Copies of this chain bind each other. A is one copy, B any other.
Amino acid sequence: MVRENEIRPSEVAVEPPPATDAGLVFIGRIYSPWTSRLKAPRQGRQDGPLCRIEIFDPWVPALDGIGRFERLEVLYWLHLSRRDLVRQSPANDGSARGTFALRSPVRPNPIGTSIVSLVEVNGPVLLVRGLDCLDGTPLLDLKPDRTLFTPIAPPQPGDFETGD
């Protein structure tokens, strides 16, 4: 979002509760070509530039087997985002929409999610395409893309429940 942290006309901020319900650990860092919010893409693209993800200790062994997935879901912490807007005006045109009807980085819990193409795994470093985040963004999680993953554990009753 191209703003230093000002509020635009028609936007609504709230006094948020303290963000102490649960705590996060940064498990790595994302290196992208974008060092300015004025340049970063609004959305990643699968043919976008290579980005590097570096995993920190002690989490490197958790990468074992990740190379078998062509696409990954990446969760990251949008560390520059304000967290108190409930209505936002992305076009800055006097109209606003609720935060949960937008994929803006400004959210009560500023967690970004992207689906990336996995190009290479080399020790603690992954090369991927499809990210949209700023250089230096803290990493929260990596998962296989949901559409490529079949649970290894045996099914449970809930797997067969349908209807109301």
Contact = CB atoms under 8 A, between A and B. Distances in A.
Nearest to A92: B153
Contacts of A22: 19, 23-24, 26, 77, 79, 138
A143 to B, nearest CB: 5
B59 A158 contact: no
Which of the four size classes fits the interface of chain A?
Answer: 35 or more
A140 B109 contact: yes
Interface of A: 1-2, 12, 14-27, 33-34, 38-43, 45, 47-50, 58-66, 68-69, 72-73, 75, 77, 79, 83, 86-87, 90-92, 97-103, 107-109, 111, 113, 115, 132, 138, 140-144, 146, 149, 151-159, 161-164
Nearest to A68: B101
Nearest to A78: B22
Given A2-B153, A149-B103, A151-B103, A163 B19 contact: no
Nearest to A100: B142
Contacts of A38: 156-157
